[in-house]
Structure 1
Amino acid sequence: MSRPAFVLVRPQMGENIGAAARAMLNFGLDRMRVVGPRDGWPNERAVALASGAGRVLDAAMVTETTAEAVADAQWVLATTARDRDLTKPIYTPEAAMTEARDRIAAGQRVAVLFGPERAGLENDDIATANAIVSVPTNPDFASLNLAQCVLLTGYEWRRVTTGAAGAETRMAGTDWANAAEIAALGDHFEERLGQAGFFFPEAKAPAMKRHLRNLWSRMPLTRADVQTFHGMMRQMVRWKERG
């Protein structure tokens, strides 16, 4: 099992099961287990809300008890926002999924428990888990919707297993401008602005030119950007000459 199993314990609404399935598949997770669904199984409302993720529901394991659902797992996590009278390690979702990744890579099976909508997991369910996952929510309004909690946990799984960059720039048919191209742009503007009398008074001209060069070097310009600025300046000169 190269991915954790997400176990929905006694879910009350088919819509939330379906939304959870969709959230799971969004992040490459397809091992759903459902414990004692209130409205039986299969559930038409779950299928309707799955919106293309029906295969997660089709392959779902349905059990009567939480113990059955996690019987094959070596490490079990329980998601809960409430204080519990149980001594267990508590992880953030990011830390939990990082640990889950490492354990799965080492050959272990991992399961994550999600409680019913009304009150979350009961202590008897949590007692079967090795650790708790707690989302740092607003303490005055800590409860998450079932599908929201599944989506958040799935997102963290995807993030820690794919090495997604925190930020990146996708080049749209161009490359970054090199120093020579940026210098040529500076030359063009300096020449045309000089002809227009921009560098005045003369005593301030060297500092003004230096500031302009610094402006170009500080900007993350692409080759397309540079060509656009050249074109703008050429068109402004043509317009002035026509006048």
Structure 2
Amino acid sequence: MPQATPQPAIVLVEPQMGENIGGAARAMWNFGLDRMRIVNPRDGWPNQRAVAMSSGAGRLLDEAQICDTTAEAISDCTYVFATTARARDLTKPVMTPEHAMGVAREKIAAGEKVAVLFGPERSGLENDDIALANAIINVPVNPAYASLNLAQCVLLTSYEWMRGGIDVAPERVEMAKTDWASQAEIEALSAHYQDRLDEAGFFFPEPKADGMKLNLRNLWSRLPLTRADVQMLHGMMRQMVRWKERG
């Protein structure tokens, strides 16, 4: 369960379908947000379809603040973002979700209250609602099909919020009950293969032998070998030697 840490309020303005409210709650919960405000939901409140779609994030719906107007929903906030996919002929800063959530994090850290507005599924936010915001969030999408589902848009924003607050490596390796092989282990593996291949007459002709051995040693050093890999490769070579001796 997310801790009660400062975070932006997610404001759904006149959402039309309970399923999308539930999907938005689920998206928020995935990324550690739990402050939902709902403005004049079309199908009333509470909404069982929203609960069903929330898939375990029902607490967000139970604690959601229900408001009659957008102005009421953001009345305690000092900075508000409005999400929209199209130009609205309103002069405002337009930010990507990543940058917007960075700005939100700075402002919240300074003690401000921040909200993000999301419009109804069919038409998005009205200009009257966007006029209440300080800045616009615009997701870079395919211009030929810019419409995002409400829950998808909430998920994108929530993801950027969490991503800005944690240090996640862009790539990592899941170690399956093993560790990386040490240089000593790799050197022993190299020596094992070199000795057995030498006995088999692999390093031929003689003038090229030293270069072939160097290339083989370089091959081992290039491979990201684990201890399990090294043990398996030792075993492979031992089994081939036994098979040759039996022949």
Task: Provide TM-score, normalisation by structure 1.
Answer: 0.97
* 1:134-188 residue CA offsets vs partner (Å, 9 max, x unmatched): 1110111111100001111111111111122211223232222121111111111
Query: Residue in 2 aligned with 1:196?
Result: 200
Helix, strand or coil: the match of 2:116?
Answer: strand
Query: Which of 175, 178, 185 in structure 2 is aligned with 1:174?
Result: 178
Cα drift, residue 84 of structure 1: 1.2
- In the alignment, structure 1 residue 149 sits paired with structure 2 residue 153: yes
Count the aligned residue pairs.
243
Worse-matched range after superposition: 142-151 or 172-181: 172-181
Which residue, out of 131, 134, 137, partners 1:130? 134
Establish whether residue 39 from structure 1 lines up as the match of residue 50 from structure 2.
no
Query: Deviating runs (4+, > 3 A) in structure 1?
Result: none
Aligned to 1:24: 28
Q: What is residue 72 of structure 2 aligned with on the other side? A: 68
Q: Secondary structure at the match of 1:40?
A: coil
| Secondary structure in structure 1 of the residue aligned to 2:66 | strand
- 1:203-230 deviation line (CA, Å, top 9, x unaligned): 2221211111111111111122111211
| In structure 2, distance between residues paired with 1:158 and 1:239 | 56
| Residue number in structure 2 paired with 1:232 | 236
CA positional deviation for 1:92 = 0.6
Please name the residue that 2:105 is paired with: 101
Is 1:51–2:65 an aligned residue pair? no
Q: Which runs of 5+ in 2 are unaligned?
A: none
AA in 2 matched with 1:128: L
Moved more, 187-196 or 57-66: 187-196
Percent identity (aligned): 70
Letter in 2 for 1:43: N
Distance of 2:243 and 2:40 partners within structure 1: 76
Partner of 1:7, secondary structure, is strand
1:47-106 per-position Cα deviation (integer Å, ceiling 9, x unaligned) = 010010000100100101111111111111111110111011111111111111111111
TM-score, normalised to structure 2's length?
Answer: 0.95
